[in-house]
Amino acid sequence: MKPLPTLFVSHGSPMVALEPGAAGAFLRRLGPAIDATFQRPRAIVAISAHTLTREPTLLGAPSHATVHDFHGFPAPLYELRYDSAGAPALAERVAGLLRDAGQPVHATADGGLDHGIWSPLRFAYPAADIPILPLGFPPHWSPARLFALGQALAPLAGDGVLVMGSGSITHNLRLVFAAQTPALDAPEIAPSAEFRDWFAQHGAAADWPALLDYRARAPHAALMHPTEEHLLPYFVAAGAAGDEPIATRLHDSLTYGCLGMDAYAFGPAAAALQGTLGALPL
């Protein structure tokens, strides 16, 4: 089997599940593109901004129910289901990889998929027929430490396991709700564009010294991420692609003028995936 790339997807607002827009259209093409370029993943290790733990923790339940971890949204959103099989045996393998790399790791028989996991996957793999292993991560760890955590997962790509980080390339809800919620298709504010462009350029150059120090070097970093948890899965996924991987932007869109929906693939397999996506009809 060809080694898979690793992924970072932006899941945006929970409303994306009902109003998919350009990002949803991309995600609908992403699953078939992965299957056509490589083969269907045998499992997915998911690192979501909404499953946060004090130390890395694997949710090794044999099955996962849909978790509606939000409030105040329209009733139809709470009716959506994305229940999946879990991956207890894979949890043991991943725990071993992390321990061998000197990483702390905990495993639990608990389960559940937060919306950062199920909202993108319900478009990419709507049948919910791929086992999922959520990996909770510590939001107080630095990008460099989370990159190293991801590096321990690098052998999974050759085993047909897809490593997917889920967050948002920009995430400042105060900007979204400052006075009144802007239109879904509101024009992008300049700081958001500058930050997203900076990430795309430095990722394409594999400039990891800059990316890992993004808080000091990227324009408007604190404005675009007042807290870091929605960007940190990017670094876990990138590390899982090996040493200093190229970050290939697969998708570029926006909601509410400041909530970026960009998606990235990491490593040498990313170019092949990008080529397949480009050949699929929009």
Spell out the SS3 assignment of the chain.
CCCCCEEEEECCCHHHHCCCHHHHHHHHHHHHHHHHHCCCCCEEEEEECCCECCCCEEECCCEECECCCCCCCCHHHHHCCCCEECCHHHHHHHHHHHHHCCCCCEEECCCCECHHHHHHHHHHCCCCCCCEEEEEECCCCCHHHHHHHHHCCHHHHHHCEEEEEEECCCCCHHHHCCCCCCCCCCCCCHHHHHHHHHHHHHHHCCCHHHHHCHHHHCCCHHHHCCCCCCCHHHHHHHHCCCCCCCEEEEECCEECCCEECCEEEECCCHHHHHHHHHHCCC
Q: Tell me the mean pLDDT in the region 28-49.
A: 97
Whether 199 is covered by a domain: the verdict is no
Structural domain range at position 152: 6-169+227-252+263-279
Whether 211 is covered by a domain: the verdict is no
Whether 246 is covered by a domain: the verdict is yes
Give me the CATH number covering residue 132: 3.40.830.10
Whether 182 is covered by a domain: the verdict is no
- Identify the pLDDT of residue 189: 94
Q: Tell me the mean pLDDT in the region 154-177.
A: 95
Instruction: Give the mean pLDDT of the chain.
Output: 96
Domain count, the chain: 1
Q: Tell me the mean pLDDT in the region 158-177.
A: 95
- Identify the pLDDT of residue 121: 98
- Identify the pLDDT of residue 179: 61
Whether 137 is covered by a domain: the verdict is yes
Whether 151 is covered by a domain: the verdict is yes
Q: Tell me the mean pLDDT in the region 118-146.
A: 98
pTM over 0.95: yes
Whether 104 is covered by a domain: the verdict is yes
Q: Tell me the mean pLDDT in the region 193-220.
A: 98
92/174: higher pLDDT: 92
